[in-house]
Amino acid sequence: MSFDLVLFGGTGDLAWRKLMPALFQAFRHSSLPQDGRIVGVARDDLSDDQYRELIQSRFSAVEGAKRPSPEEFKKFASMLYYLRMDLSKPDDYARLADLLKQRDAKTIVMYVATAPALFTQVVEQIAAAGLNGPRTRIVLEKPLGHDLASNRAINAAVGKVLEEKQVFRIDHYLGKPSVQNLFAMRFGNALFEPIWRREHIANIQITMAEDLGVEKRFGAERVGAYERLLLDVIDGRLNLFVRSDEQEEAWRWVEPLIDSWASDGGPRPYAAGTWGPSASSAMIARDGFSWGEEQ
- Encode pLDDT of 77-119 as tens digits: 999 999 999 999 999 999 999 999 999 899 999 999 888 889 9
pLDDT band at 261 (very low <50, low <70, confident <90, very high): confident
pLDDT, position 174:
59
Q: What share of the chain has pLDDT > 90, as a percent?
A: 49
CA dist., res. 206 & res. 226, Å (int): 22
Q: Please tell me whether residues 158 and 282 are part of one structural domain.
A: no
The percent of residues in the chain predicted with pLDDT above 70, rounded, is 90
- Closest to 139 measured CA to CA, from 30, 42, 231, 251: 231
pTM of model > 0.85: no
pLDDT of 268 strictly over 80: yes
CA 131, CA 166: separation in Å to the nearest integer?
A: 12
SS3 of 242, please? strand
- The answer to whether residues 84 and 48 belong to one domain is yes
For the chain, how big is the Rg over CA atoms in Å? 22
pLDDT per position as a tens digit, 5-37: 999 999 998 888 889 999 999 999 999 998 999
Q: Are residues 123 and 240 in the same domain?
A: yes
76 and 39 in a common domain? yes
State the Cα–Cα distance between residues 47 and 151, nearest whole angstrom: 36
Query: Does 89 share its domain with 111?
Result: yes
Q: Is residue 282 part of a domain?
A: yes
**Full residue range of the structural domain in which residue 269 is found:** 265-294
Q: How many CB atoms lie within 10 A of CB 38?
A: 26
Quote the strand ranges of the chain, DSSP E. Answer: 3-8, 36-42, 80-84, 107-112, 136-140, 167-169
What pLDDT band is residue 209 in, cutting at 50, 70 and 90? low
Do residues 288 and 230 both lie within one domain? no
Return the CATH number at 84: 3.40.50.720
The DSSP secondary-structure symbol of 17 reads I
- Whether residue 122 contacts residue 114, with contact meaning beta carbons closer than 8 Å, is answered with yes
Q: Do 164 and 271 belong to one domain?
A: no
The number of folded domains in the chain is 2
**Residue 184: inside a domain:** no
**Which residues are bridge partners to 268 per DSSP?**
none
Q: What's the pLDDT score for residue 216?
A: 45
166 & 275 share domain: no
Distance, CA of 70 to chain centre? 28
Output the pLDDT for position 208. 64
Distances (CA, A) of 81 to 6, 25, 41, 205, 274: 9, 18, 9, 46, 48
Gap between the Cα atoms of 288 and 293, Å rounded: 15
pLDDT the model gives residue 217: 42
Same domain, 273 and 131: no
CA distance 111 to 113: 6
Is residue 176 pLDDT above 70, yes or no?
no
Is 16 inside a domain boundary?
yes
Is 215 contained in some domain?
no
Q: Do 229 and 269 fall into the same domain?
A: no
User: Which of 64-73, 78-87, 117-126 shows the lowest mean pLDDT across its residues?
Assistant: 64-73
Is residue 185 domain-resident? no
Any domain includes 70: yes
Regarding whether 224 and 98 lie in a shared domain, the answer is yes
Element (H, E) at 74: helix 70-77
- Do 238 and 286 belong to one domain? no
124: pLDDT strictly greater than 70: yes
Question: Quick check: is 66 in a domain?
Answer: yes
Around Cβ 223, how many Cβ atoms within 10 Å? 20
Residue 196 lies in a domain: no
